[in-house]
């Protein structure tokens, strides 16, 4: 699959190198595989879990050919990725998607990609610029609104994010919007602050838009490796995250972070970003992801 070449190089090509260098299955083989997984940012816990399962299966099936170990590894990866799999679903209309995540992870870009996706499906889309802390955030979102031909509700820099959401909901109702996508400020340096800010936004949504289907998407950057896992765990403590969008998977050999996020954070990965263009956003699919990695 397009965009995952680097992840393939970083994980499977290296796994294959290891497997080819062995003529029989022994303890050292598993140690080498373990090292590949950790280097590819699968995370220590998840790696241990995978290797343990792998050793167990190889023993049970009495596998002696290293190349057959590959099939077992592939099926373990597929199982981890399929566990709790679910897609981003904006039906029934109206739906409000609240986007959270720290700055620089690709939040604005993902909003733009989603706006474009739903527009092309014939849905009425609106953006709410509720990251009022940075003027640049609203400007960036504005560019995406123009590019995708989407309505946007914005206030001035420093305005109350809750007021932006309030106005956006009012406008969305008046214009019969199907999908309202809210940007939020991603200042993680102070957890209490973040919780407070997001809390105010959710309170307004609860009060003003209870009929809307709600998605809370956390955007994390795959190139930050284990940081993505840490961010996911932190955001999960402050908001009811319904899904994760993992961006920039095209730019990293450490695509193993998908596995770490899947097995260490109990929230489904719903979207993956594999480039900067609007079409570079995919629904996460465990089978096609596994096939893209292992061929």
- Residue numbers belonging to the annotated binding site for GTP: 101-108, 183-187, 247-250
**Which of 242, 247, 282, 290 contacts ligand GDP by CB under 6 A?**
247
Least distance CB 140 / ligand GDP (angstroms)? 6
Least distance CB 122 / ligand GDP (angstroms)? 25
**Which of 248, 254, 262, 270 contacts ligand GDP by CB under 6 A?**
248
The C-alpha atoms of residue 249 and residue 132 are separated, in whole angstroms, by 28
Does residue number 255 form part of the binding site for ligand GDP (CB under 6 A)?
no
Least distance CB 281 / ligand GDP (angstroms)? 7
Both tokens of residue 36?
């590949």
Q: Which stretch binds ligand GDP (CB under 6 A): 5-13, 41-49, 82-90, 102-110?
A: 102-110
Least distance CB 137 / ligand GDP (angstroms)? 7
Determine contact, residues 247/221, Cβ cutoff 8 Å.
Answer: yes
Identity of the residue, 223 or 263, whose beta carbon is nearer to ligand GDP in the bound complex: 223
HEC letters along the chain: CCCCHHHHHHHHHHHHHHHHCCCCCCHHHHHHHHHHHHHCCCCHHHHHHHHHHHHHHHHHCCCCCHHHHHHHHHHHHHHHHHCCCCCCCCCCCCEEEEEECCCCCCHHHHHHHHHHHHHHCCCCEEEEEECCCCHHHHHHHHHHHHHHCCEEECCCCCCCHHHHHHHHHHHHHHCCCCEEEEEECCCCCCHHHHHHHHHHHHHHHHHHCCCCEEEEEEEEEHHHCHHHHHHHHHHHHHCCCCEEEEECHHHCCCCCHHHHHHHHCCCCEEEEECCCCCCCEEECCHHHHHHHHHC
Does residue number 145 form part of the binding site for ligand GDP (CB under 6 A)?
no
Number of residues that bind ligand GDP (CB under 6 A): 17
Indicate the residue whose CB is closest to ligand GDP.
273
Identity of the residue, 87 or 203, whose beta carbon is nearer to ligand GDP in the bound complex: 87
Q: What x/- string results for residues 105 through 134 when contact with ligand GDP is judged by CB under 6 A? A: xxxxx-------------------------
Least distance CB 208 / ligand GDP (angstroms)? 25
Residues making up the binding site: 101-108, 183-187, 247-250
Q: Which stretch binds ligand GDP (CB under 6 A): 70-78, 79-87, 207-215, 247-255?
A: 247-255
Least distance CB 287 / ligand GDP (angstroms)? 21
Q: Which positions touch ligand GDP (CB under 6 A)?
A: 103-109, 140, 247-248, 250-251, 273-276, 280
């Amino acid at each position: 699959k397009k965009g995952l070449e680097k992840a393939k190089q970083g994980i499977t090509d290296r796994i294959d190198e290891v497997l080819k260098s062995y003529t029989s299955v022994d303890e050292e083989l598993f140690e080498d595989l373990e090292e590949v997984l950790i280097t590819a940012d699968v995370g220590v816990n998840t790696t241990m879990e995978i290797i343990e399962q792998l050793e167990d299966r190889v023993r049970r099936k009495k596998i002696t050919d290293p190349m057959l170990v590959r099939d077992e590894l592939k099926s373990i990866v597929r199982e981890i990725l399929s566990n709790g799999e679910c897609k981003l679903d904006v039906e029934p209309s109206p739906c409000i998607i609240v986007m959270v995540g720290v700055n620089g992870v690709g939040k604005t870009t993902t909003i733009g990609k989603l706006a474009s996706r739903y527009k092309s499906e014939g849905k009425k889309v609106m953006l709410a610029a509720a990251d009022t802390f940075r003027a640049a955030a609203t400007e960036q979102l504005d560019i995406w609104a123009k590019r995708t031909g989407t309505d946007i509700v914005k206030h001035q820099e420093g305005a109350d994010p809750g007021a932006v959401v309030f106005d956006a909901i009012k406008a969305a109702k008046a214009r019969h919007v199907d999908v309202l996508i809210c940007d939020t400020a991603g200042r993680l340096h102070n957890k209490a602050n973040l919780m407070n800010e997001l809390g105010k936004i959710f309170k307004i949504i609860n009060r003003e838009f209870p009929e809307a289907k709600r998605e809370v998407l956390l955007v994390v950057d795959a190139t930050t490796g284990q940081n993505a896992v840490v961010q996911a765990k932190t955001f999960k403590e402050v908001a009811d995250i319904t899904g994760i969008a993992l961006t920039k998977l095209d730019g990293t050999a450490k695509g193993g972070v998908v596995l770490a996020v899947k097995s260490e954070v109990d929230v489904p990965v719903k979207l993956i970003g594999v480039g900067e263009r609007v079409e570079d956003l995919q629904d996460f699919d465990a089978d096609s992801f596994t096939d893209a990695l292992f061929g």
